[in-house]
Structure 1
Amino acid sequence: MTTVVMRHTARTRHAAPTAAVLAASLAVSLTAGCGHPDRDDNRAPQRSATPAPAPSVAAVGSPLAVKIDNVPAARPQSGLDAADVVYAEQVEGGLSRLMAVYATRLPQTVGPVRSARESDLELLGQFHRPMLAFSGAQRKLLPLIDNAPLRPEPAAEDPSAYFRAAGKAAPHNLYLRPAKLLPSAPGKAALTTGFSYGPAPSGGTPTASRTVGFPAARFTFTWSAQQHRWLVAMDGTPMKTTDGGARVAPATVVVQHVRIHDSRYHDVLGNPTPYTETVGSGKAEVLRDGRSFAASWSRPMATDGTTFRATNGGRMNFADGQVWVVLAPAR
């Protein structure tokens, strides 16, 4: 499939395309691929020459999404504790990468920042013109990022917002200063995820710990009654941040079972690039308040949020606070 992309070199911020343009862009993305998870590709997308009309939902606000490295050499990360939502996704070689979404609070630094993936465009379609911070992307993905209804902010295009930190080797040492991209946090209204917050449903199974695995990565969530949070461990090691060494501890953890399949592209080592489908429906498991709840998820279109329902058909409410969504392979 051949995609004709209009480009220019001036730095502009344009309005989001319509839902029809989004659907077409995401459909085309099925034919693209990405680079190796341990190799930066700092090639930046360029903006479309013809802005689309501004949507009427501009008052919603635009959140900041940051692609965050999650291999051992990248840990501990910075700024994860300030995110409203953290998505864990599978990348090449069965490894994992994180996407942290910020709407109510902006940390001083976030990182290490890494490259974007094809699946990110579909996942971010549920937000209004999200700003995507990433280190770069594979060449074939650049036109798709350019045409997607988001505001790309790669490191190569805005170097003043990024810096290389001491103590870690490249490419695991690139960090973002969010204040250089946004003057302030857009607010809770920017979280157009479809999530519902409130009291837990009846039932559920008391759960002390839950482990979710990718082929080469393992997340463990352990309930802390004292903190009333789920303490995250990565590959058996407690996950902490550089911000005071605090444990990463979401209030709600969602294990969303999704279809993950190989795209038609491979990285430089020959590993297939996974594509994670977040539009559709399937089973889910929700951890909150020390209990596990069976649930289902539904997202009919890329422009929709994701709705979670309990087994009785009612909305599956999340606890107030940070939400982790692990996009796990469907069983």
Structure 2
Amino acid sequence: MDPITVLLTITTVGFGLFAANEAKKKKEARASKQSMYAEVDALKGKLEKSRQELGKTKESLSQKTKNLDEMRNQARKKERRESKAQQRQEKEAKRQNSGGDHSLMQEEIKNLKGSLSAMEHQVLTMQKELDEARSSANEEAQDKWGAEVSDLKERLQAAETQTQTATEALEKFKQKVQADKEHKAKYPTPLDLDNLDKEVVNELARYYRKSEHYQRLYNVAEGNVRMAQDRAADLQRRYREVCRELALVAGAQSQAGDAVATAEAIVSAVATDAKHDARFGSNTSEKPNGVEVSNEKETPEGLPTNA
């Protein structure tokens, strides 16, 4: 048999067994997954049932607690009623037995009144002693701390006076600041225009308008200066580029200082050459690298002009 056929057969059988094994594993995994889902559903059902039973138990417990509280309240009410009835019976019995003991009760009342008067006298005596002790303590405190208390009172009064003065000064300062703000908002100038003559005010207004006009002219001139500076910088850049191109044409190195010196020398030599117009033209000529040289009259400082 051909080895390649045997190899292909073995490979096919191996792939078949591997595929069958994988299919079996997937089937077992699906079955395990379904069983797990079934168990989860069963557990969810049990949990829901347990929750319902717990809710019913809580409701039953709440009802039983409520019934127990009602029974306790009824027992307390019954106990109070029985206690009141017993007290009434005892009072009635005492009232019936009080006829023979009337003289004894009178004597007891007399003794109680005497004890009460003695206690009142004792209370008055103690109150008098307390007042005397308080007065004595106040006198001692006044003798011991009177000077310091007076000094502290004077300092407190002085501090209150200073505070009041500072508060009034602050209030006046606030009013002054507010008045200055209102005055500046109404008159945005340190001059009091209300007290000046009308001609002076008109003259000041005329100078103010002229100053605004000059300010606008200054801004325009400043813009023109900036434009001129930008143009000069651009011309200087173009001049250096032309110098580099001329240096390349002359075979020199294209560096900053050497290029400028070489280009100025070339321009000076070419300016005196009679063949300049024939080689470069009267106004503009193309260089080998495509750089145009413009013969402009307005050049920056140090830029040579073409004849």
TM-score normalised over the length of structure 2? 0.12
Instruction: Point out the structure with the larger helix share.
Output: 2
Which of the pair has the greater relative contact order for Cα pairs under 8 Å at 6+ separation? 1
TM-score normalised over the length of structure 1? 0.11
